Amino acid sequence: MKIVTEYYSVSGFGDADCMFLGKRFNEKWGYKPYEGECWAMLQKNNDKGDTYMYSVVGTNHEMKGVWYSEKGNIYTCSADGYVRHAEVFKKEGGYSVSKAVRKEVEGSLTGIWGLNDENVFTWGATWEGKVVLHRWDGKTWEAMPAPRFRITSMHGISPDCIYAAGYDSGIAVWNGKKWKKFKVPAEEFFTSIFVVDKKEQYAVGVNNYVLKGNGTAWEVIALGPGHNSRMHMPLRAVAKWKDQLWIGAGSYGLLRRVEETDQLEVVKSNFNVDAMDARRNLVMACSEYIVESSNGTNFTAFAIDSLAKARKGKKLMEGFK
């Protein structure tokens, strides 16, 4: 039995301060909950520039997302309805991570994102199909109103300007009191949304539409390489960074919009990008490594084999109950 690892989510600020998720599973059968491992990993440099790698949280349930705050707080969610919260703190020569506090909330969770440590959101659905959304206010997790579609991605700039995107061409904005759903010009299953400000937003999805919003309406501004292609592959992530629009397109690589045109150029064809974070440097999760760039020209891959090394010599599921 060959055991393999794969990365699939990322949150952070660069290779010196970054969280990511990895799976460890039987190559023959692929990843399956309860038969494979999910790990939240932290790579962080100390004041001297020494790099430390930590295996923060491991579970046999499927972790669906991670968000890492500027204050060094870690939040993860999993399909079994649990959110976990841990804190990174300094110790002599490096860092340590507090024991994760686990909380069960309603629904099977599918994603997590935060604006700050008083506004962290996790979402999903119940087995009956009810859409659920929960908010961490810095002390507790509480249920809050959800838009009328299943959420796949959230992003925003303030508590009164938070966007959600997801199933059934769903895009909506939370103004601090209620959700407003938009009418969009394409049939899409959205995978990622990014908010620049109240007058500029972007979304991408499975059908390879790239949409731009202005706070009141949405338009299609480009089509990904998989649109109407026999080699169909979803667009997976989008971010506006360094005044340019970046798109993670799975096996099509890392794409970038050509100025203000409807054209997308391939920047890195070998980057199988599943997720990205653009709060400081551009950080991306690819299946075999994590990538960062500080300028959009030079890219550095890191965390190569980090999960495999951390679990070296251990059988699959060893140490899991």
pLDDT for res 240: 98
pLDDT score at 139: 94
Q: pLDDT tens digits for 25-37?
A: 999 999 999 999 9
Rounded Cα distance between 294 and 3, Å, is 33
Q: Does 16 have pLDDT greater than 80?
A: yes
φ, ψ at 183 (rounded to 5°): -90, 125
Q: Is 214 helix (H, G, I), strand (E, B) or coil?
A: coil
Cβ–Cβ under 8 Å, residues 173 and 157? no
| DSSP assignment string, 36-96 | SEEEEEEEEE-TT--EEEEEEEEESS-EEEEEE-TTSEEEEEETTSEEEEEEEEEETTEEE
DSSP string across 167-198 = STT-EEEE-SS-EEEPP-SS---EEEEEEEET
- When pLDDT is averaged across residues 205-221 and rounded to a whole number, the result is 97
pLDDT at 54 over 90: no
Residue whose tokens read 């049939």: 187
Taking the C-alpha atoms of residue 105 and residue 123, their distance in angstroms, rounded to an integer, is: 10
- Please state, for a pLDDT cut of 90, what percent of the chain lies above it: 86
Residue 118 structure tokens:
């008083």
Cβ-contact 173, 180 below 8 angstroms: yes
Listed in sequence order, the DSSP H helices in the chain are: 306-310
Q: Which residue is it, tokens 């997308």?
A: 264
pLDDT band at 321; cut points 50, 70, 90: low
Average pLDDT over residues 174-179: 97
Which of 21-30, 46-55, 210-219, 285-294 bottoms out in mean pLDDT, i.e. has the lowest? 46-55
What is the Cα–Cα distance from 105 to 82, expressed in whole angstroms?
6
What is d(CA 215, CA 180) in angstroms, rounded to the nearest whole number? 11
Residue 121 has pLDDT above 70, yes or no: yes
Distance of CA 73 to the CA centre of its chain: 16
**Higher per-residue confidence, 94 vs 258:** 258
Q: Cα–Cα distance between 267 and 4 in angstroms, integer?
A: 28
Q: Give the model's pLDDT for residue 234.
A: 94
pLDDT of residue 106: 97
pLDDT band at 227 (very low <50, low <70, confident <90, very high): confident
Average pLDDT (135-157) is: 97
Average pLDDT, the chain: 94
How far is the C-alpha of 213 from the C-alpha of 215, rounded, in Å?
6
What pLDDT, on the 0 to 100 scale, is given for residue 55?
A: 80
pLDDT of residue 92: 75
Residue of 229, 189, 194 whose CA lies nearest to 209: 189
Tell me: the pLDDT tens digits for 180-201? 999 999 999 999 999 999 999 9
Residue 70 has pLDDT above 90, yes or no: yes
